[in-house]
Amino acid sequence: MDAFHDTLRATFWKPALATGKGPRYLRLASFIEQSVADGRLRPGDRLPAQRELASWLGIDFTTVTRAYNRARERHAIEGRGPLGTFVSTPRVALDQVLDLGMNIPPAPADIFLGELLRQGVDEVLRHTDASRLMAYQLGDGGMADRQAGALWLAPMLGSIEPSEILVCPGAQATLAALLLADTARDDTVLCEPIVYPGLRSAARTLGRHLEAVATDGEGMLPDALAARAREHGARLVYLNPTLQNPTTRTMPEQRRRELLELAETLDLTFIEDDPYWRLARNAPPPLARLAPHRVHYVATLSKCLTPGLRTAYVRLADASRRDAFLTALRAFALMAPPLMTGLATQWIHNGMAERILAGVSAAAAQRQAIAAGILGGGRIAKEAKQTRETKGTNEAIAQGIHLWQPLPAPWTARELTMAARAEGLAVTPADAFCLAPDAPNAIRISLGGVKEPERLASGLRRLASLLREAPPSLRGAVV
């Protein structure tokens, strides 16, 4: 009987390496996780001993060890000392608040970032003196780093020289340095009424004034921009034109060209904050590609790969502003972190960055589909329906790592945010993004902060349930 059961168990494991891509240990780890997810392996089941499984599959013992380690990191299995390795029991989440407020990219489903970090850092250390990675490195990045930046920006900006690229410690410090270098205290910077909160923070800290320019469904209005620029004598304009944070709107190419024509007439310079372009489908060319001499272009890796890299690439509108920009940047940070910059450079040169990007894009699309199915009355679902009706296409419009959710009356964004918090959900109200007090009645929902899609779906269902109820202020007291 024991021999019979061993044969059955061996048969179960035979397909483990037949599907998926990548090294065998990753395929085996994925097989374990998928078997747990679909119930073929249940909590408490004992896995084969590593040498036994290696024998069944005809692979090295170390391959099985690495696969078990990866599955253990993902909490699919757990070791119990001499008793062996078992499928993990479901964990009770002690962190009851689900973070739908922090806008970060979702972890790719089939990529183990821990392993990639170890491999990537090892590779960086093989090619770089460790003492150099721990030393101050003033400037705009080494040649390999700027070459990596040129490669990364090529889909957006076309072929550009590495000498045109500056490597910076994240987009927030970069935006602040651009404000400091290109404006004086009490100057006005123009932007849309709903804008990235980091810009508001930087402007307030540096003593610059933000003035809103009216928009329509396609973005900033050229006539309104001209009027505001003349009224305030402003020369610097901030835009986040692709998958705008928080509204998810993408400005069409024609509107971009109209704004750039106006920039020539009024001698305006744009800051184009473009963290999401590579997560968008069929995005129009950036403003910086259409008129590079009018646009400071900023692209961070934090929103499309992982925030921990702290790497942003910048291409200035005017190369003569390079020294002024770098001087301003050093008021916030002396350098981009050398080790993380080296890791970003390594991943871009060896193709790993593209693989991570593809994984993030797939995970984001999955999460947008989950959200659309649960919150079907939101802006994304309505625009998708309109697109299908007007263009005769089934292409979904939901893209990126967040969504903008209008709220039904009588809910207000603040009431909903507080009610959601009481339900263990963190979301961001519209007034966090708005320059004027009359903020739209909406919230931003970020889809990447919750690691597991199942927990994200659970949180969104709780949010949808709230939206079907009356706000607490309108509920009668029960005594």
DSSP letter, residue 106 = P
| Residue reference for tokens 């397909």 | 15
What span, in angstroms and rounded, lies between the C-alpha atoms of 177 and 133?
24
The pLDDT tens digits for 184-213 are: 999 999 999 999 999 999 999 999 999 999
Q: Please report, for residues 147, 369, 393, 460, the alpha-carbon distance to residue 453 in angstroms, rounded to integers and kept in the order given.
A: 36, 11, 27, 10
**Burial environment of residue 103 by CB neighbours within 10 A (0 to 12, 13 to 18, 19 or more):** buried
Contact status, residue 389 vs residue 264, Cβ threshold 8 Å: no
pLDDT of the residue at 20: 65
Contact status, residue 265 vs residue 299, Cβ threshold 8 Å: no
For 128-350, CATH gives 3.40.640.10
Contact status, residue 240 vs residue 274, Cβ threshold 8 Å: yes
Alpha helix stretches (DSSP H) within 1-142: 2-13, 24-37, 50-57, 61-73, 113-127, 130-133
The pLDDT tens digits for 153-195 are: 999 999 999 999 999 999 999 999 999 999 999 999 999 999 9
Q: Please report, for residues 134, 162, 206, the alpha-carbon distance to residue 148 in angstroms, rounded to integers and kept in the order given.
A: 21, 8, 31
pTM of the model: 0.78
User: 332-358 burial by CB neighbour count: b if 16+ within 10 A, else e?
Assistant: bbebbbbbbbbbbbbbbeeebbebbbe
* The pair of three-digit structure tokens given for residue 100, joined into one six-digit string: 């739908």
Asked if pLDDT for residue 227 goes beyond 90, the answer is yes
Domain definitions of the chain by residue range: 1-87, 128-350
The pLDDT tens digits for 354-370 are: 999 999 999 999 999 99
> 1-87: which CATH topology?
Arc Repressor Mutant, subunit A (1.10.10)
* Phi, then psi, of 209 in degrees rounded to 5: -105, 130
Share of the chain above pLDDT 70, in %: 90
DSSP string covering 190-247: EE-SB--HHHHHHHHHHT-EEEE--EETTEE-HHHHHHHHHHHT--EEEE--SS-TTT
Residues 6+ apart with CB under 8 A from 255: 218, 219, 220, 222
Contact status, residue 325 vs residue 103, Cβ threshold 8 Å: no
